[in-house]
């Protein structure tokens, strides 16, 4: 999430009422999670296990709960609770704005786009030309939709990401300040749910087709011309490269990458990154021929046990 105008280290420290290490005029351009940070961004870290990853990331400023040695060219914000302070920044720079109509006057809709009854379109939404948005679709604030997109009934674009910190007495929610981007020529089936990014964008690439009841988690990026069948569930921060096929009820855990032109058979569970140009099956998913051989071998086990018992 980028700020509308650059801020200084001192300005952010004052906003958070925290100490800092670095030049008071050190420029800050935005905030982001560790997997999408860029130079100029603030990233937060609150566990020693991840200190080095945050300090060595592309982020220019690290919001951290301990004063440590600051890498050259970077700055630190010293916070008692970086998680809560990161939420403060999200809420300050991208606050929730209540809707006043079914279609926000701040939205922009392209030529020849058809909006069916009972569609909700939030603030600052951009919809391209020649799109069809069917009844009861909900499009949250700041969503960007390209040209020639079809969205079927009941789909929701831009709900909050599922991201919580387990506190002693409750689950503390990390606020979502990102958005959803749907590129040109995408079709979304009925009752799909695509969560917005926590700090970046959840993206569906050009020409991809999603069947009914597909879920896409926060900050996931789906490439071009992917084919995703019904009831697939994709967690947050997943990268799915171009021309991937996911058949029905595939489940994908967070933070993995699915390589270009991979094909994953129905009801498979993906728990690690998979190379492209291969077919996969099973849970945990593995190359389909290997998995079928394993299954055939398992069927032989009762006969082997029976022979051993007769010895």
Q: What is the pLDDT of residues 39-54, one digit of tens each?
A: 999 999 999 999 999 9
Q: What is the pLDDT of residue 300?
A: 84
Q: How many Cβ atoms from other residues are within 10 Å of residue 34's Cβ? A: 17
For residue 282, what are its two tokens? 């099973």
Rounded mean pLDDT of 3-14?
A: 96
pTM for the predicted model, two decimal places: 0.93
Tell whether 83 and 119 lie within a shared domain. no
> Which is the catalytic residue, given 134, 152, 215, 218?
218
State how far the Cα of 167 lies from the Cα of 191, in Å rounded to an integer. 32
- What does the pLDDT read at residue 288? 92
Spell 197-230 as b/e; 16+ CB within 10 A means b. bbbbbbbbbbbbbbbbbbbbbbbbbbbbbbebbb
Question: 201 with 265, same domain?
Answer: yes
Residue-number span of the structural domain to which 234 is assigned: 108-289
Q: Is the same domain home to 174 and 266?
A: yes
Question: How far from chain centre, in Å, is Cα 196?
Answer: 7
- The pLDDT assigned to 136 comes to 98
Residue 302 within a domain = no
Total tally of structural domains belonging to the chain: 2
| Residue with tokens 């492209």, as numbered in its chain | 276
Nearest to 195 by CA among 172, 171, 178, 212: 178
* pLDDT tens profile 65-101: 999 999 999 999 999 999 999 999 999 999 999 999 9
Note if 218 is an active site residue: yes
249: left (phi over 0), alpha (psi -120 to 50) or beta: left
* Res 36 pLDDT > 90: no
The whole-angstrom separation of Cα 161 and Cα 68 is 31
- Is 300 contained in some domain? no
Q: Taking each helix axis as running N to C, give the angle between helix 9-16 and helix 82-93, from 0 to 180 degrees, rounded to the nearest 10.
A: 110
Are 53 and 145 found together in one domain? no
* Model confidence pLDDT, tens digit, residues 187-213: 999 999 999 999 999 999 999 999 999
Same domain, 257 and 121: yes
**Residue tagged 């709900």 (tokens):** 159
d(CA 230, CA 190): 10
In a shared domain, residues 27 and 80: yes
Phi and psi angles of residue 61, each rounded to the nearest 5 degrees, phi first: -130, 135
CATH number at residue 211: 2.160.10.10
In the predicted structure, residue 309 carries a pLDDT above the cut 90 = no
> Is position 172 within any domain?
yes
CB neighbours of 194 closer than 8 A, spacing ≥ 6? 155, 156, 157, 158, 159, 180, 182, 188, 202, 204, 215, 216
DSSP the chain: -EEEEEEEHHHHHHHHT-EEES-TT-EEEEE--GGG--TTEEEEE-SGGGHHHHHTSS-SEEEESS--PPPTT-EEEE-S-HHHHHHHHHHHHS------SSB-TT-EE-TT-EE-TT-EE-TT-EE-SS-EE-TT-EE-TT-EE-SS-EE-TT-EEEEPP--EEE-SSSEEEPPP--EEEE-TT-EE-TT-EEEPPSSSEEEE-TT-EE-TT-EE-TT-EE-TT-EE-TT-EE-TT-EE-TT-EE-TT-EE-TT-EE-TT-EE-TT-EE-S-B-SS-EEETTTTEEHHHHHHHHHHHHHHHHHHHHHHH-
Cis peptide before 284 (omega within 30 of 0): yes
Does 115 lie in the same domain as 241? yes
| 155 within 8 A of 192, measured Cβ to Cβ | yes
- Of 68, 93, 118, which one is at a domain's C-terminal end? 93
pLDDT at 311: 75
pLDDT in tens, 220-264: 999 999 999 999 999 999 999 999 999 999 999 999 999 999 999
Instruction: Clarify whether residues 178 and 260 are in a common domain.
Output: yes
Q: Quick one: 235 and 118 in the same domain? A: yes
Residue 27 lies in a domain: yes
Residues 281 and 186 in one domain: yes
Residues 64 and 196 in one domain: no
| The pLDDT value given to residue 301 | 86
């Amino acid at each position: 999430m980028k700020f509308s105008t650059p801020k200084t280290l001192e300005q952010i420290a004052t906003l958070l009422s925290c100490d800092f290490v670095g030049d008071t005029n050190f420029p800050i351009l935005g905030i982001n999670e560790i997997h999408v940070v860029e130079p100029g961004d603030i990233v937060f870290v609150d566990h020693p296990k991840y200190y080095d990853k945050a300090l060595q990331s592309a982020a220019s400023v690290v919001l951290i709960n301990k004063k440590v040695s600051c890498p050259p060219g970077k700055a630190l914000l010293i916070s008692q609770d970086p998680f809560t302070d990161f939420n403060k920044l999200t809420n300050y720079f991208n606050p929730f704005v209540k809707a006043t109509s079914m279609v926000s006057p701040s939205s922009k809709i392209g030529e020849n786009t058809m909006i069916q009854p009972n569609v909700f379109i939030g603030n600052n939404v951009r919809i391209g030309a020649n799109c069809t948005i069917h009844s009861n679709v909900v499009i949250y604030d700041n969503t960007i939709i390209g040209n020639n997109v079809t969205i079927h009934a009941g789909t929701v674009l831009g709900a909050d990401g599922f991201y919580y910190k387990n506190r002693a007495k409750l689950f503390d929610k990390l606020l979502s300040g990102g958005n959803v981007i749907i590129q040109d020529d995408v079709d979304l089936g009925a009752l799909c749910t695509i969560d917005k990014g926590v700090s970046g964008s959840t993206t569906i690439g050009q020409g991809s087709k999603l069947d009914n009841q597909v879920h896409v988690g926060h900050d996931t990026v789906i490439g071009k011309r992917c084919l995703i069948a019904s009831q697939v569930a994709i967690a947050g921060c997943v990268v799915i490269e171009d021309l991937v096929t996911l058949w029905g009820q595939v489940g994908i855990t967070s933070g993995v990458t699915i390589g270009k032109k991979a094909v994953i058979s129905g009801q498979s569970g993906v728990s690690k990154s998979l190379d492209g140009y291969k077919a996969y099956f099973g849970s945990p998913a593995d190359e389909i021929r290997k998995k079928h051989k394993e299954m055939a071998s398992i069927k032989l086990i009762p006969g082997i046990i029976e022979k051993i018992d007769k010895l």
